[in-house]
Amino acid sequence: MNKTPVVTVIGSINMDLTVTTKKIPNKGETILGESFSTLPGGKGANQAVAAARLGAKVNLIGALGDDAFGTSLLDTLKIEGINTHGISIEKDVSTGIATILVSDNDNRIIVTPGANYHVSPALVERYKELIMHSDVVLLQLEIPLETVEYTTHLCKENHIPVVINPAPYQKLPRNVVDMTTYLTPNELEVEEMKNDYRLDAIKEKVIITKGSAGVNFYKDGAEDVVPAFQVDVEDTTGAGDTFNGAFATRIALGSSIEEAIQFANAAAALSVTKFGAQGGMPTAQQVENFLQERSI
Ligand code: RIB
């Protein structure tokens, strides 16, 4: 596989305000946390960084506020080698923020979208040339649904595969689901999907990430599980994003679904061994070495 895969991500860019704590406070309770960090995040940016570190040529279409967080996030994306021409800087709007509590090997996240809600169909239309030259387009749901719908139509018309990570969960119009190549919910999101669709009818496009329990998918009518790699966990924030960025990159390269999941699983396992959403995202060589160590 020697071509450079092109992945275009349309999604959120946030500053993650992360507190680590031994316990989660109860209603009305004040507790002392352990540490506080300001780190680059946002599902769109995270997935873009994951794909870029794994060797994809990445375009990111998104929006930032005209504030200090916006300036700093734009710099970090450029350092990762991501094409940031499709990122609009919105006047008098705040950059997206995620308030994250990390405790007991898991995280709880509240996103305040800010500029991310300015990622409009018009913005996508302005940069549609990037989409036309992509091998895969990757979306999440921290931007307006109408933009997700618009992009999916554009991709369908131009025969470009689309991966939607339905997080945070919202019901997608049925036609969007039908036009999507793969949907990648986690265990909680898939439970919500079951209320909205007959999963049986779309199961071949649904890839369920279950953290340390592995990844479930269907092929030729049969369910299969790719087990997770057991590693020492430092921070699970961004593990799903690493999986999505890696999965999209491998699909863009023409890998089989099993191989793409295996590779993405390894990338996600490595990502949780370091702190922060993007802190542990590996390079392709690190993933290959890890797969070899684990004799896959
Ligand atoms: O998936 C993790 C990400 O979710 C964080 O980086 C946060 O910004 C939210 O978008």
HEC profile of the chain: CCCCCEEEEECCCEEEEEEECCCCCCCCCCCCCCEEEEEEECHHHHHHHHHHHCCCEEEEEEEEECCHHHHHHHHHHHHCCCECCCEEEECCCCCEEEEEEEECCEEEEEEECHHHHHCCHHHHHHCHHHHHCCCEEEEECCCCHHHHHHHHHHHHHCCCCEEEECCCCCCCCHHHHHHCCEECCEHHHHHHHHHHCCHHHHHHHECEECHHHCEEEEECCEEEEECCCCCCCCCCCCHHHHHHHHHHHHHHHCCCHHHHHHHHHHHHHHHCCCCCCCCCCCCHHHHHHHHHHCCC
Compute, in angstroms, the gap from residue 13 CA to the centroid of ligand 1: 8
96 found inside a domain: no
**Pocket (CB within 6 angstroms of ligand 1):** 12, 14, 16, 41-43, 46, 98, 109, 111, 142, 237-238, 240-241, 277
What average pLDDT score do residues 274-296 get? 94
pLDDT, tens digit, for every residue of 50-105? 999 999 999 999 999 999 999 999 999 999 999 999 999 999 999 999 999 999 98
pLDDT tens digits for range 195-233: 999 999 999 999 999 999 999 999 888 999 999 999 999
On whether residue 83 sits in a domain, the answer given is: no
Residue 18: inside a domain, yes or no? Answer: no
Identify which of 111, 116, 170, 236 to mutate to test ligand 1's pocket (most ligand atoms within 8 A of the CB): 111
Any residues with CB less than 8 A from the CB of 261 and at least 6 apart, and which? 207, 215, 217, 226, 247
Residue nearest to atom 7 of ligand 1 (CA): 42
Average pLDDT over residues 121-132: 98
| pTM for this model (two decimals) | 0.97
CATH classification at residue 190:
3.40.1190.20
Query: Which atom of ligand 1 is the closest one to the Cα of 241?
Result: 1
Considering the domain boundaries, does residue 207 fall inside one? yes
Could you read off the pLDDT of 152-192 as tens digits, one per residue?
999 999 999 999 999 999 999 999 999 999 999 999 999 99
Tell how far the Cα of 220 is from the centroid of ligand 1, in angstroms: 33
Tell me how far the alpha carbon of residue 42 lies from the centroid of ligand 1, in angstroms: 4
- The reported pLDDT for the residue numbered 1 is 53
User: Is 241 part of the annotated catalytic residue set?
Assistant: yes
The domain total for the chain is 1
Distance (angstroms) between ligand 1 centre and the Cα of 295 equals: 31
pLDDT at 3: 87
The closest-lying atom of ligand 1 relative to the alpha carbon of residue 237 is 2
Task: Work out the average pLDDT over 265-287.
Answer: 97
Tokens for 288? 């290959």
Indicate the average pLDDT of the chain: 96
Evaluate whether residue 91 is within a structural domain: no
Is 69 a member of any domain? Answer: no
Domain that residue 144 falls in: 6-12+43-63+116-293
Nearest Cα residue to atom 10 of ligand 1: 42
The reported pLDDT for the residue numbered 84 is 98
Residue indicated by tokens 């004799």: 295
* For ligand 1, mutation pick of 15, 143, 235, 237 (most atoms within 8 Å of CB): 237
Q: Answer yes or no: is 205 within a domain.
A: yes
> What pLDDT is attached to residue 182?
98
Which residue has tokens 């993007």?
A: 278
Q: Is residue 107 part of a domain?
A: no
What pLDDT, on the 0 to 100 scale, is given for residue 295? Answer: 78
